[in-house]
Amino acid sequence: MELIEKAREVFSREPQLIRHHAEDFFVVGDTHGDLDTTLEAIKFAEKEGLNLLFLGDYVDRGPRQLENIATLLELKLSWNGGLTLLRGNHESAEMNMWYGFYNAVVSIYEPQLYEKFAELFSQLPYAALIQDKVFCVHGGIPQKLTSIDEIEDFPKGEINPRHPKAIQLIWNDPCEDIDEFAPSWRGGGAMLFGRLAFERFMNMNNLKLMIRSHEPQDKGYGYLFNDRLLTVFSCRYYGIRPAGALLRGGKVEIVYLD
């Protein structure tokens, strides 16, 4: 309870769009209770002297969900600005009820402890911007979002996100078969976005690269839209090699965490 409360206070002071001026980062995708991948990412970042950024989905599905999120919260308290934890679509009560984290908590502790986790998740930021050029988010670009500055006004404290554009930030997926936006197979207000919509958003905000997660990748990563969109996925329990993206010296390198 003390760990959750201390971390919640830290997250509550962070803006919804975190702007980083440092350029050396290691970006990690979904871990879903994959503690081994999280520990490998931390070890790699410490060895290389990197800032660490996780793109969300720390719980649900995997076997070590509590250990995974507790490890990250402990690291957040010691690293603070050196560790960025973004909100994914699984940092919400609706998903946790269906996909395992609620049961993982209440099987050991009281339901009140899960409520504290839900409050904590509601304070996680939605996006990060590195060196004004690299946009990091869990899902994708929302329809009708023209400026990334708008993200700063998204509300905090929603146990289940209700702001339409916030929902799309954590739920949307890219699609090469469309140009603009189309309803997603995921439902619930999620959308697919195509190349023209993506390029318009990137150009209007003077962005070079977008890094997101949310979708398992056969190789642990995948590029789309003339290599301006990078998806990284970091959970080994999907039968893939967990991967992360190393940003250093203006270049991007894929690093495996197995």
Strands (DSSP E) along 89-153, which ranges?
127-130, 134-137
Beta-carbon contacts of 145 under 8 Å, excluding residues fewer than 6 positions away, are 151, 165, 168, 201
Active site residues: 90
Give the span between the Cα atoms of 256 and 258, in whole angstroms: 6
Q: Dump pLDDT digits (tens) for 64-111.
A: 999 999 999 999 999 989 999 999 999 999 999 999 999 999 999 999
What amino acid occupies position 178? I
CATH of region 2-137+210-256, choose from 3.60.15.10, 3.30.360.10, 3.40.220.10, 3.60.21.10: 3.60.21.10
pTM above 0.95, yes or no: yes
pLDDT at 7 (0 to 100): 98
For strands 127-130 and 134-137, give the pairing.
antiparallel
pLDDT at 70 (0 to 100): 98
Q: How many CB atoms lie within 10 A of CB 227?
A: 9
Give the span between the Cα atoms of 148 and 163, in whole angstroms: 15
Any bridge partners for residue 246, and if so which?
26, 253
pLDDT at 139 (0 to 100): 98
Domain ranges of the chain: 2-137+210-256
CB 212 within 8 A of CB 202: no
Q: Per residue of the chain (258 residues), what is the pLDDT tens digit?
A: 999 999 999 999 999 999 999 989 999 999 999 999 999 999 999 999 999 999 999 999 999 999 999 999 999 999 989 999 999 999 999 999 999 999 999 999 999 999 999 999 999 999 999 999 999 999 999 999 999 999 999 999 999 999 999 999 999 999 999 999 999 999 999 999 999 999 999 999 999 999 999 999 999 999 999 999 999 999 999 999 999 999 999 999 999 999
